[in-house]
Amino acid sequence: MTRDLARKRPQGATIKGRVLVATVVLFAHIFPINLSLSARQDQQGIPGQLSGKQGEVLLVRIPVQASPLRVEGKFLNRLVPFFPGGNNHYAGLVGIDMQAPPGAQDLVVEAHYPDRTKRVTMTVRVLKENYPVQRLKLPDEMVDLDQKTLVRVRAESKEIQQVFRGVASERFWSGKFIEPIQGRVSGRFGSQRIINGQPRSPHSGEDIAAPEGTPVEAMNNGVVRLTMDHFFTGKGVIIDHGLGLFSMYFHLSAVEVEPKERVKKGQVIGKVGATGRATGPHLHWGVRLNGSRVDPYSLKNISVGEVSPRTN
């Protein structure tokens, strides 16, 4: 049974992720900015500015009068692929990394035609998020790693980073995103973790507590790029949803898909467990968007249907 992300968050948790929508009008002879009223303005109310907190996602739509060869953007040195969105417009997902520098940042979008390139620069005001502090107590051997374990951890980290460097040019996902499981959010995205009294990297996903063996579903259509059994993440799955969007499912007790397998939204890909560095059965659900670490719940309002490629 699929679960729309737009539903009420599990009791005891707060939905802080939002999707911000802007529209930029792109003409054949000029390239002005025309932000729609649905775009949230910055805190000072300056028209024509987008704003979003660290860890959020912006859905940017660009109407076009002609058929460009491609449309792409750049935000904080990260490439943002745009895709045909129907009704003569392109759309792109812009991720604000959980540690993106606060303040005004440029989003540059280019539409490439056979004989010209049109460019627009818009301002995105990055707002600082107030992340909670989470204190955990773990066995010393899971915190103070020996040399052999350090070598393993570094190799496993490189394996995951290699997956994220592969950006599929095809968009596999469509419609709304769903929660992989229902449960209590036990570890919030962005939490500053202090483990055995030592500050560690912030938490880059949502931890959802659920009984061991609970089926875990894919949040949308995609291709399995990696299955693993790593020291930190335990048994896990990484799904490529196309155009730089990846979802991660860690600490599983069982994996039920294979690398390169095409999966459908709502398909069971594994079962909840407590493998890897975990204190109890739960799912670590993470999302990477063009290299940015974003809150999975920030996808809750995104919905773009299937679009056939346009012919010139």
What pLDDT digit, counting tens, does each position of 217-260 carry? Answer: 999 999 999 999 999 899 999 999 999 999 999 999 999 999 99
Same domain, 37 and 106: yes
Domain that holds residue 75: 19-128
Same domain, 104 and 240: no
CATH code assigned at 211? 2.70.70.10
Same domain, 256 and 142: yes
Same domain, 39 and 54: yes
Same domain, 114 and 174: no
Same domain, 164 and 233: yes
CATH code assigned at 93? 2.60.40.10
Report which of 182, 169, 167, 191 is spatially closest to residue 216, judged by C-alpha positions. Answer: 182
Say how many domains are in the chain.
2
User: How high is the pLDDT of residue 305?
Assistant: 66
Same domain, 236 and 100: no
Residue numbers of the chain with a pLDDT score lower than 70? 1-4, 6-49, 133-144, 193-201, 305-312
pTM, to two decimals: 0.82
The answer to whether position 305 is within a domain reads no
The answer to whether position 13 is within a domain reads no
Same domain, 203 and 231: yes
Same domain, 198 and 96: no
The answer to whether position 236 is within a domain reads yes
User: How high is the pLDDT of residue 187?
Assistant: 81
Domain boundary among 105, 128, 151: 128
